[in-house]
């Protein structure tokens, strides 16, 4: 494992089903780790799809406890009506494991060489490109999360022999023999036939996957360079988006590079890839360039506004904080929801912080007429999703500041506050 950049003190979360492969993985990692009781945690996902699911959970918990390891058994509700149950279960499983994975941990998975061959053919039958056909990488990074598959170069025979020599016990899933499942059909029918004709075919498939991985890596390098070239870095105070791209620069790229760039951008945001339909709709959204149009992808939203493409999390629409009373003589900074608001000097003035409610008006310094705040926000090109979460500073019934956009000196008729300046930043 040292070749992959791991050190004896590293922390791991082991995906443990209780089956043969993950039992070998768990045994190996506890032998490798200097202090498994403190550095290794175990997670088991209970889908409730098999009659023996409770027994598998109990076995996994008991095996982990015998080793003195921190165990997490997580139940996942599954809708069995329609759809690809295998793919849905896998997707739910990954999301659960990623939700439990800590920033300083690596997720360990028990995939081996046979799994790589099966995944190659499954993706081939879905019409996948180089990235999909490159199989399962031994070491992967997505959205800051690290995955490692220590058994990937081992065959099923290698794993079975190790388990027997080590005296390990494991649970058997009889559904693994059910040929209605695509992966089982490949495992029991297709791959043995290939190996009969071309002995050692798994190794050849693994080699082909690695060659395709090189092609995918080149696409990632190009995607990273293109992403850097089209990314805009003009975040205003209070901005709630994670990524902001120039649509004009996106449209200067060829269609292939644009698609490759967007796939790479999405990989920086989430550890799961977009499906083909979302990518098709995203490309259409960018190419149409209609203002204030959006798409939803998991917990993410892609939004075209002001000839720019923004990506932000849907949870920014959580209820805005309650109104907050602020006495500047007592404290020069306050936390309001996700923001920290600071004033540059104390003052014996009482203010209130609250979110926009609609209908607000104010008169700018040097202007004869009052302006609707809605019109000002549009003129300042504040994205629509950001307007409702901006903190507004009030003194009695008068709007006196919008940190990051308007300081008191820019507003007419608020003489006691003219010298004050307010600053807005994300709360730590």
What does the pLDDT average to over 216-234? 93
- What total number of domains does the chain contain? 3
One domain, residues 17 and 139: yes
One domain, residues 240 and 191: no
One domain, residues 197 and 248: no
Give the model's confidence band at 319: pLDDT under 50 very low, under 70 low, under 90 confident, else very high: confident
pLDDT at 261: 97
Question: Which residue segment(s) compose the domain that 151 sits in?
Answer: 2-215
Residue 24 lies in a domain: yes
One domain, residues 196 and 241: no
Whether 3 has a pLDDT exceeding 70, the answer reads no
How many C-alpha atoms does 373 have within 13 Å on its Cβ side?
23
CA angle 117, 118, 124 (to 5 degrees): 90
One domain, residues 185 and 44: yes
Report the alpha-carbon distance of residue 391 to residue 414 in Å, rounded: 18
pTM score, whole prediction: 0.69
Residue 223 lies in a domain: no
For the stretch 49-91, pLDDT in tens is: 788 889 999 999 999 999 999 999 999 877 655 556 777 777 7
One domain, residues 78 and 166: yes
Query: 215, 241, 256 — which closes off a domain?
Result: 215
| Count of Cβ atoms closer than 10 Å to residue 343 Cβ | 23
Give the model's confidence band at 402: pLDDT under 50 very low, under 70 low, under 90 confident, else very high: very high
One domain, residues 259 and 185: no
Cα dihedral across residues 234, 236, 241, 242: positive or negative: positive
Check if the beta carbon of residue 402 is closer than 8 Å to that of residue 351. no
One domain, residues 332 and 402: yes
What does the pLDDT average to over 255-281? 90
One domain, residues 143 and 236: no
**Phi/psi at 44 (nearest 5 deg)?**
-125, 125
For the stretch 287-298, pLDDT in tens is: 999 999 999 998
Whether 2 has a pLDDT exceeding 50, the answer reads no
Residue 224 lies in a domain: no
């Amino acid at each position: 494992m040292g070749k992959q950049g791991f050190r004896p003190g590293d922390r791991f979360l082991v995906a443990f089903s209780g089956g043969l492969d993950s039992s070998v993985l768990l045994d190996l990692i506890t032998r490798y780790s200097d202090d498994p009781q403190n550095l290794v945690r175990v997670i088991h996902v209970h889908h409730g799809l098999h009659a023996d699911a409770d027994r598998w959970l109990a076995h996994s918990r008991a095996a982990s406890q015998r080793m003195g390891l921190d165990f997490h058994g997580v139940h996942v509700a599954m809708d069995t009506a329609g759809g690809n149950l295998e793919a849905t279960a896998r997707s739910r499983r990954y999301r659960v494991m990623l939700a439990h994975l800590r920033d300083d941990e690596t997720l360990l998975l028990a995939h081996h060489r046979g799994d790589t061959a099966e995944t190659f053919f499954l993706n081939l039958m879905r019409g996948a490109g180089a990235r999909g056909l490159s199989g399962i990488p031994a070491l992967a990074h997505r959205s800051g999360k690290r995955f490692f598959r220590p058994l990937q170069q081992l065959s099923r025979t290698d794993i079975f022999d190790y388990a027997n020599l080590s005296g390990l016990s494991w649970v058997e899933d009889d559904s693994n023999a059910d040929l209605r499942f695509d992966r089982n059909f490949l495992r029991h029918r297709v791959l043995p036939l290939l190996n009969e004709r071309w002995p050692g075919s798994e190794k050849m498939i693994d080699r082909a996957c690695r060659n395709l991985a090189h092609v995918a890596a080149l696409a990632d390098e190009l995607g990273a360079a293109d992403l850097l070239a089209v990314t805009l870095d003009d975040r205003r105070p209070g901005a709630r988006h994670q990524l902001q791209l120039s649509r004009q620069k996106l449209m200067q790229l060829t269609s292939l590079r644009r698609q490759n760039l967007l796939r790479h951008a999405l990989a920086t945001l989430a550890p799961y890839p977009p499906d083909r339909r979302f990518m098709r709709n995203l490309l259409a959204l960018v190419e149409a360039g209609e203002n204030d149009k959006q798409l939803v992808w998991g917990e993410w939203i892609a939004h075209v506004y002001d000839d720019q493409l923004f990506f932000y999390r849907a949870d920014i629409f959580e209820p805005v904080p309650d109104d907050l009373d602020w006495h500047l003589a007592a404290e020069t900074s306050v936390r309001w929801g996700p923001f920290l608001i600071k004033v540059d000097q104390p003052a014996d003035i009482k203010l209130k912080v609250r979110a926009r409610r609609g209908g607000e008006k104010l008169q700018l310094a040097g202007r004869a007429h009052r302006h609707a705040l809605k019109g000002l926000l549009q003129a300042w090109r504040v994205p629509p999703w950001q307007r409702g979460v901006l903190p507004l500073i009030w003194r009695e019934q008068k709007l006196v500041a919008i940190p990051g956009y308007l300081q008191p000196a820019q507003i007419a008729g608020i003489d006691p506050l003219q010298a004050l300046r307010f600053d807005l930043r994300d709360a730590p």
